[in-house]
């Protein structure tokens, strides 16, 4: 509320937390990793609750961030709350490290927390992602932070929060199956292709965020901790390591994932999720890995093998 008549730049000392002692690099005038320590504690408390009730959405007092809502503010707040000076951060969007928003978020943390960043999945301790799970299996010492636009898996079936809350509380999920039933009745199979609803730990139905269903099986009993942040919708939820994550399906119409008969045009992978690239205006197409790191690793390995053989 200060009114500075001389229009000076606000001069605020950094708070406690990691910034204490001034040993850390960060943005002048801001706390380590942007958020103040009180907010970080609030978010960490929410995370603990989320881990204790796998798949259950916990409301939290989401802050306005310097990036717009819908652009990963939930994930950014979680990352800001858990990241320490020794962490190595990887940020991907659509599987790639070099997409504009991934670049922007990575540089935000470099600027405000001065942490090391990487594009290598294996080297990262914290991976913030939008819409993909890395192809390379994650380990126990890694944390995967998802950016979530709509945390409520029931939203397009029942828009009202009050009603959704009751459905979750009573595990009264019949209406979710009505939607699946309609899909199968109309198209012969389940039409949901991304953000495929899952049951976590046999209890809560959860949105896995808009990852393609190709990635859904990777969540099942993943060794890494999975944290989900929805900034605009003000919800946090989690899947602890080695927790059951099962996609909703019918006994006789099982869940299935996308497959390509083509391989990646760059690395030749057939088991990765592929992006389609339009190469000309007469229907030319190429397929390349959406996970830029997995693609690069595979190419590097191929090059090594080749030189080793010769």
Partner 1 sequence: MYVAAKGGEKAIANAHRFLAEKRRGNPQLPEMSVEQIREQLGLAVDRVMAEGSLYDRNLAALAVKQAQGDLVEAAFLLRAYRTTLPRFSPSPVVDTGSMRVLRRISAAYKDLPGGQVLGPTYDYSHRLLDFSLMEPEAFAANVVYLVDKMIALPSRIPRLTEIVGSDDLVETPQEEPDQDPPVPDITEEPLEFPASRSARLQALARGDEGFLLGLAYSAQRGFGFQGHPFVGEIRMGYVPVEVELPGEDVKVRIGSILVTECTMLSRAEETGGCPFGFVQGYGLVFGANERKAMAMALVDRALRSRELGEEVRYPAQDEEYVLRHCDNVESSGFVQHLKLPHYVDFQAELVHVRRRDVKKSQGADDQGPSSVGSAGEG
Partner 2 sequence: MAFSSESSNQAEWAAKEPVLRAVRLSHFYGQRVGCAGVSLDLWPGEVLGIVGESGSGKSTLLRCLSGWQEPSQGRVQIRREGEVLDLYALEESVRRRLLRTQIGVVFQRAEEGVRMRVSAGGNIGERLMAEGMRHYGRLRESARRWMERVELDPARLDDLPCTYSGGMLQRLQIAKNLVTEPRLLFLDEPTTGLDVSVQARLLDLLRRLVREMNLSVVMVTHDLAVARVLAHRLLVMMGGQVVEEGLMDRVLDDPQHPYTQLLVSSRLVA
Which 37-76 positions form the footprint of partner 1 (CB under 8 A)? Answer: 38-39, 59-66, 68-71, 73
The interface region with partner 1, picked from 81-89, 91-99, 241-249, 297-305 by CB under 8 A, is 91-99
Q: Mask: binding to partner 1, 213-252, rule CB under 8 A, as x and -? A: xx-----------------x-x------------------
Closest to 239 in 3D by CA, of 262, 264, 211? 211
**23 part of the interface to partner 1, by CB under 8 A:** no
- Quick check: is 55 catalytic? yes
* Bridge pairing between strands 143-147 and 225-230: parallel
Yes or no: say if 88 and 116 are a contact pair by the CB < 8 Å rule: yes
CB of 189 to partner 2, least distance (A): 10
- Quick check: is 264 catalytic? yes
**169 part of the interface to partner 2, by CB under 8 A:** yes
Closest to 85 in 3D by CA, of 109, 121, 51, 49? 109
The only residue of 172, 256, 258, 305 in contact with partner 2, by rule CB under 8 A? 172
The only residue of 141, 162, 252, 281 in contact with partner 1, by rule CB under 8 A? 162
The only residue of 79, 121, 207, 290 in contact with partner 1, by rule CB under 8 A? 290
CB atoms within 10 A of CB 276: 12
- Quick check: is 267 catalytic? yes
The only residue of 160, 177, 259, 279 in contact with partner 2, by rule CB under 8 A? 177
Q: Provide the token pair at 147.
A: 């950016």
**Which residues contact residue 86 at a Cβ distance below 8 angstroms, ignoring those fewer than 6 apart?**
125
Residue 73 interacting partner from partner 1, partner 2, none (CB closer than 5 to 8 Å by kind): partner 1
Residue 170 interacting partner from partner 1, partner 2, none (CB closer than 5 to 8 Å by kind): partner 2
Residue 303 interacting partner from partner 1, partner 2, none (CB closer than 5 to 8 Å by kind): none
**Which residues contact residue 221 at a Cβ distance below 8 angstroms, ignoring those fewer than 6 apart?**
242, 243, 244, 245
Cα–Cα distance measured from residue 119 to residue 284, given in angstroms and rounded to the nearest whole number: 30
Tell me which residues in 186-215 interact with partner 1 (CB under 8 A): 187-189, 191, 193-195, 210-214
The interface region with partner 2, picked from 14-22, 85-93, 170-178, 226-234 by CB under 8 A, is 170-178
Active site residue: 26, 55, 75, 231, which one?
A: 55
**307 part of the interface to partner 1, by CB under 8 A:** no
State the Rg of the chain over Cα: 21
Q: Based on CB atoms, which residue is closest to partner 2, 166 or 304?
A: 166
Yes or no: say if 95 and 291 are a contact pair by the CB < 8 Å rule: yes
Burial class (CB in 10 A: 0-12, 13-18, 19+), 235: buried
Residue 251 interacting partner from partner 2, partner 1, none (CB closer than 5 to 8 Å by kind): partner 2
Q: Based on CB atoms, which residue is closest to partner 2, 15 or 161?
A: 161
**172 part of the interface to partner 1, by CB under 8 A:** no
In the complex, the residues that contact partner 2 under the rule CB under 8 A are 166, 169-170, 172-175, 177-178, 181-182, 184-186, 250-253
Q: Known catalytic residues? A: 55, 264, 267, 289, 295
């Amino acid at each position: 509320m200060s009114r500075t008549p001389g229009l000076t730049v606000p001069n605020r000392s950094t708070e406690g937390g990691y910034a204490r002692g001034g040993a850390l690099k960060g943005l002048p005038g801001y706390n380590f990793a942007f958020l103040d320590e009180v907010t970080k504690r609030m978010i960490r408390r929410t995370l603990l609750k989320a881990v204790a009730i796998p798949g259950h959405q916990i409301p939290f007092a989401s802050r306005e961030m310097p990036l717009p809502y819908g652009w990963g503010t939930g994930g950014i707040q979680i990352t800001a709350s858990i990241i320490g000076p020794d962490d190595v951060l990887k940020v991907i969007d659509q599987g790639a490290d070099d997409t504009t928003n991934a670049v922007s978020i990575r540089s935000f943390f470099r600027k405000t927390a001065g942490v090391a960043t990487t594009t290598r999945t294996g080297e990262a301790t914290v991976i913030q992602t939008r819409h993909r799970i890395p192809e390379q299996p994650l380990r126990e010492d890694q944390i995967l932070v998802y950016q979530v636009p709509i945390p409520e898996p029931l939203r397009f079936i029942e828009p009202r929060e009050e009603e959704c809350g009751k459905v979750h509380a009573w595990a009264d999920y019949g209406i979710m199956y009505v939607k699946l039933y309609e899909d199968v009745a109309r198209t012969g199979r389940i039409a949901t292709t991304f953000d495929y609803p899952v049951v976590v730990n046999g209890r809560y139905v959860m949105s896995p965020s808009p990852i393609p269903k190709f990635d859904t099986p990777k969540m099942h009993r993943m060794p890494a901790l999975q944290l989900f942040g929805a900034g605009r919708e003000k919800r946090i939820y989690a899947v602890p390591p080695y927790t059951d994550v099962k996609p909703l399906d019918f006994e006789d119409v099982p869940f299935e994932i996308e497959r390509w008969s083509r391989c990646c045009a760059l690395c030749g992978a057939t088991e990765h999720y592929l992006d389609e690239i339009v190469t000309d205006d007469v229907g030319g197409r190429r397929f390349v890995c959406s996970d830029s790191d997995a693609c690069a690793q595979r190419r590097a390995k191929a090059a090594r093998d080749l030189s080793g053989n010769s």
